[in-house]
Amino acid sequence: MKLVTALDMGTNKVVALVGEMDSYGDVHIIGIGEVPSKGIDRGYVTRLDLAVNSVLSAIREAQEMAGVKLSSVILGISGPNLKSQNEKDTLSISSQPVEIDYSHVERLIERAMMRSREEGYEVLSAIPRKFILDDQEGVVDPLGLLGSKISAEVHVVKIGTSLLKNTEKVVLNAGMDIVEKFLSPFASAEAVLTPEEKEEGVLMIDMGAGLTDFVVFSEGAVLQTGCVPMGGLNITKDIAHFMKINIEQAERIKVESGYALSDVVNETERVKIRPRGEEKEVTVSRKQLAEVIQIRLEEIMEKLTDLLQLQNVDLNTLHAGIVITGGSAKLAGMKEFLERYFDMPVRIGYPMGVIGLKEKVQDPAYATSVGLIKLAHRALTIDKKVMTHRTQEGKSENTLNLSNLIAKVRTFLRDII
Ligand SMILES: Nc1ncnc2c1ncn2[C@@H]1O[C@H](COP(=O)(O)OP(=O)(O)OP(=O)(O)O)[C@@H](O)[C@H]1O
Ligand SMILES: [Mg+2]
């Protein structure tokens, strides 16, 4: 078992999680560092020095708890300028069927990546969803099968180059190497979804403080990815504005008394607040508090629905419904709100398969960091498989830039996420 450190730089908190995965796929957490996030806002770095300090503090805390020196991280990336698209392409190989190998799949991925190129953006992930081998549709893994032409639909996700480079700079300035980068919502999905849900079709939403990321899975693979640049912090700010209270107070009453649906809150319930400039506490209606929350939630979900419509996602085909995770999933009434809004089954997504420090980590706010550890281990396992396969093929490692190749090939193995 190999120790890895996940680093999730959120709008609300920076988390460094040290863990290892056993052969059953369970994650053993041995160190956690969590500090309030400073100099980071919705994936953007707003102040380099503060952001570096946040990362340093989180790493230091995790290091002390784990009792090991940490030198590299698996990094989660997300942001408002995340874009996804599906590229379809066909590769004619030969007139007679030949055995499909890595190089054919690689070419399809490379071509999809080339076609998705856009100035100012960097491709973060390219995953074939399904293959067609000659006329045979629904091929999950074409390796070793025979065919004269292969088609693939590749899901490509890209993100703003500056956002990515600045995030990397923070980590490097904190003295840590970056072993691997994954999209934060892919990591969250890895932590909270079951393979059955991915197969049946599911919409996973990670609602944090500043970002509401989502991933749609169908037939076991990613269909669409996106991000609404709003989250729980917008709700807190609305409450602060509406009730004329500061952000800390607004956050407290949101967590203690907030509710996502106003019509189920009793008219008579009151919440204590102390408005700015007032000496004494006053009470406000809890129903009104819920109204403020519900209005913003509806706006966020409307934006999310618009994005899904643009991406031609038919929610009726997602039979496993919705799984909501991220810190804002803990808002009281969230499940009921979403059930009513989307008219679909909803469950709250808690990170699954965690052993060690379970009470702390089995929290929707930890979905991304737990998922990063799981993804890193899957990637390591697949690396080994690809290595073995290549050696068996008798190809000289010297003539290939193996690590680069593996990085690319690995993205196509859809069981990676
Ligand atoms: N019990 C609760 N009720 C309501 N909201 C909550 C509760 N607990 C946490 N939150 C909200 O969750 C949000 C933080 O979630 P999370 O830790 O997932 O964010 P983050 O990952 O730091 O940010 P992001 O991913 O958006 O950049 C905050 O807005 C906070 O108010
Ligand atoms: Mg987050």
Mark the ranges of the chain whose per-residue pLDDT is less than 50. 389-417
The pLDDT of residue 394 is 44
Evaluate whether residue 286 is within a structural domain.
yes
- How far is ligand 1, taken at its centre, from the CA of residue 225, in Å? 20
Evaluate whether residue 387 is within a structural domain.
no
CA distance 294 to 297: 5
Put simply, whether the predicted model's pTM sits higher than 0.85 gets the answer yes
Report the DSSP beta bridge partners of residue 284. Answer: 271
Q: From the CB of 185, is ligand 1 less than 6 Å away?
A: no
The pLDDT of residue 350 is 98
Pairing of strands 27-36, 354-355: parallel
The pLDDT of residue 362 is 94
Evaluate whether residue 320 is within a structural domain.
yes
Both tokens of 220, joined, read 């076991």
The pLDDT of residue 276 is 87
Evaluate whether residue 18 is within a structural domain.
no
Evaluate whether residue 96 is within a structural domain.
no
Query: Domain count of the chain?
Result: 1
- Nearest ligand, CA 232: 1
The pLDDT of residue 387 is 52
CA distance 109 to 187: 21
The pLDDT of residue 400 is 33
Evaluate whether residue 254 is within a structural domain.
yes
Q: Which domain holds residue 224?
A: 195-349
Evaluate whether residue 413 is within a structural domain.
no
Q: From the CB of 351, is ligand 1 less than 6 Å away?
A: no
Nearest atom in ligand 1 to 232's CA = 29
Q: Which CATH number goes with the domain that contains 315?
A: 3.30.420.40
